[in-house]
Chain A
Amino acid sequence: MTNTSIIDKLKRTKILDLLKEGKRIDGRTLDEHRPLVIDTGVIPHANGSARARLGDTEIVSGIKVQPDRPFPDMGDKGIFICTAEILPLAHPSAETGPPQPDVIELARVVDRGIRESGMIDLSQMVLEKDKSVIGLFADNVVTDHDGNLFDTCSYAAVAAIITSKIPKWEIKDDKPVLMENQESDTPITTIPVSVTMGRIDDFIISDPNLDEWECLDARITITTNSDGNIVALQKGGNNGFTLDQIVKCSEISISSGSKIREIIKQATQSN
């Protein structure tokens, strides 16, 4: 996608002209997210699941919990692994095959937001120190792509984790044995919320849709926790930000984050 077509240039001109009037191509204000709808428990076979739809971007997240060996230097903690995939049905340009750098970045940014916030208390997920721990796998699949996969993926994964249940295992003869019907809630300490913003010229817009996404100069994803602190950040795109712009983005991420956190809380409450 190194060639920019004439259509892209026209689109950028249109989007920029609207921004100068304080408007966006889909009628939102600059710091407004698209409507977020989260359904939980959509995959009964998973230990926890959620479908998040942000505008027309849709991601399904499924949690699988199973015993695993700990990482060598982390024998007193459970394992958390987060993956992402853009399914070929999500967009005409999506292809099968090994993951591209942008998809690897997506999975790692979502993983970092959840991990660095300490959302899951992994120290409660140890079966036998240094030998056997519980692994929590969050696998996220993009089913419809209309921009800002970072936030959608984060919301789906976070909602799925909150509603997930951890089965009980006991160590017998050095092997974990599953105890039937003895599930417990996943130990949650905070709710991380990712807020992605893009820069077009000097305008900062929240939650860019795909048309906007394709003409961003640079983007930034900031994750905040329930205390309103910043826990993870990733700048992307082929240009930069000034210090003032970054500080402004951090303020937006905190205020938008607290609103979105309420939506996630409500969606996960019934569980």
Chain B
Amino acid sequence: MGGRKSDLVLLDENGIRCDGRKVNETRNVIIKTGVLKNADGSAYIEFGGNKILAGVFGPRDIHPKHMADTSTGILRVRYHMEPFSVGERKNPAPSRREIEISKVIKEALQPAVILEKFPRTVVDVFLEILQADGGTRCAALDAASVALADAGIPMKDMVCACAAGKAGDALILDVNNEEDQAGQADMPIGYMPNLGKITLLQLDGVLTPDEFKKCIELGIQGCKQVYEIQKKALREKYFSNEGNSK
């Protein structure tokens, strides 16, 4: 990793991180679902300082038509950062990074959705990063799963995601922006708890084989915590008395 801000203390002598968390603690996560009127399904997530909106359309007619598959519906994902979401203005055109993240998120959601019943159609997932604060791909994937469920797309499981990594020589859960920039490793994980399957996994940074295994296990713990928050968001919309169901 960069190791740019050498003056920043990532982990103090009491094992407390630069934002006051313990090593195995995630940031505060808030998920709301059914936040958009026009989308078939939607979700809004605040994952620490990340603020992300997810909208799902479909199954619907596909354009361009040649993408249609006669045997199944297809999934399309666009991850996009707003120009104002980061410190320096980001060019609004899709960057190579955004194209890659769109691809890995799509591949993380694909094993969860059942689209065989909707041949020749598409399910579009739009992920708009309103504010980025490290770990946007995990937070976006969390919101995407909830939005897909809200849209009534048949699913085998929800995908929950959380990063684990290494900073200040300790394994940490839910890597924030400072730890991503100056830390030693960042490993985003997407996980389907009911199926025990890892569907998103990337790693930047150096880990020994032993740390690698522990790091995945730590990340999966974080994923499971987020999973409960995802389910709570859906319950609040669909099962509460004063719920504002559409």
Least Cβ–Cβ distance between A138 and chain B, in angstroms: 15
Q: A104-B99, A229-B208, A238-B110 are in contact. Are A2 and B213 (CB under 8 A)?
A: no
Question: For the complex, would chain B's binding face be called helix, strand, loop or mixed by DSSP majority?
Answer: mixed
Q: Which residue of chain B lies nearest to A228 when distances are taken between CB atoms in the complex?
A: B209
A254 and B207 CA atoms in complex are apart in Å by: 12
A232 to B206, CA, bound (A): 7
Query: How many Cβ-Cβ contacts under 8 Å join chain A to chain B?
Result: 112
Q: Pull 16 A–B residue pairs with CB atoms less than 8 Å apart, ordered by A.
A: A101-B103, A102-B103, A105-B100, A108-B96, A118-B206, A234-B104, A235-B198, A237-B107, A238-B110, A239-B111, A240-B190, A240-B192, A240-B199, A241-B201, A246-B201, A247-B213
Measured as residues with beta carbon below 8 angstroms from the partner, the interface class of chain B is 35 or more
Is B4 engaged at the interface, CB distance under 8 Å to the other chain? yes
**B 181-206 binary contact with A (CB < 8 Å = 1; else 0):** 00000010010100111111111111
CB A189 to nearest CB in B, in angstroms, measures: 12
Q: Tell me, in angstroms, the Cα distance from A236 to B201 when the chains sit together.
A: 8
Q: Which of B1, B68, B88, B207 contacts A230 (CB 8 A)?
A: B207
B163 CB within 8 Å of chain A: no
Flag if B100 contacts A243 (CB, 8 Å).
no
Q: What distance in Å separates the Cβ of A204 from its nearest Cβ neighbour in chain B?
A: 14
- Residues of B with C-beta under 8 A to A21: none
CB pair B69–A3 under 8 Å, yes or no, is yes
Given contacts A243-B216, A250-B213, contact A112 B207 (CB under 8 A): no
A220 at the interface (CB under 8 A from B): yes
Chain A residues within an 8 Å CB radius of B2: 74
Nearest Cβ in chain B — how far from A117, in angstroms? 8
Q: How far is the CB of B122 from chain A (nearest CB, A)?
A: 10
Given contacts A235-B198, A236-B107, A246-B216, contact A230 B4 (CB under 8 A): no
Indicate whether B217 reaches chain A with its CB closer than 8 angstroms.
Answer: yes
Whether A232 contacts B204 in the complex (CB less than 8 A), given A2-B69, A240-B111, comes out as yes
**Contact, CB under 8 Å: A242 / B202:** no
B153 at the interface (CB under 8 A from A): no
Which residues on A sit within 8 Å (CB–CB) of B69?
2-3
On whether the beta carbons of B206 and A74 are closer than 8 Å, the reply is: no
Which residues of chain A come closer than 8 Å to B88, judged between CB atoms? Answer: 72
Minimal Cβ-Cβ distance residue in B for A231: B206
Nearest CB of chain A from residue B86's CB, rounded to whole Å: 12
Residue A233 lies at the interface, judged by CB distance under 8 Å to chain B: yes
Q: Which residues in window 62-113 of A have CB below 8 A to B? A: 72-74, 101-102, 104-105, 107-108, 112
Q: Which 6 A-B residue pairings sit nearest by Cβ, starting from the closest?
A: A233-B203, A240-B199, A240-B197, A235-B201, A238-B110, A2-B69
Q: Is residue A170 contacting chain B, with contact meaning CB distance below 8 A?
A: no
B71, A4: Cβ atoms closer than 8 Å: yes
Given that A101-B100, A232-B203 are contacting pairs, would A243 and B196 also be in contact in the complex, using a CB cutoff of 8 Å? yes
The reply to whether A250 and B100 form a contact with Cβ atoms under 8 Å apart is no
Which residues of chain B are near A237, meaning CB under 8 Å? 107
A residues less than 8 Å from B197 (CB atoms)? 239-242
Which residue of B96, B204, B213 is within 8 Å of A116 (Cβ)? B204
In the complex, A118 Cα to B190 Cα: how many Å? 26
B16 at the interface (CB under 8 A from A): no
Residue of B nearest to A107 (CB): B96
- Residue pair A240, B198 in contact (C-beta under 8 Å): yes
Q: How far is the CB of A229 from chain B (nearest CB, A)?
A: 5
User: B23 → chain A, closest Cβ, in Å?
Assistant: 20
**C-alpha spacing A221/B24, complex, angstroms:** 27
In the bound complex, residues from chain B placing their C-beta under 8 Å from that of A225 are: 206
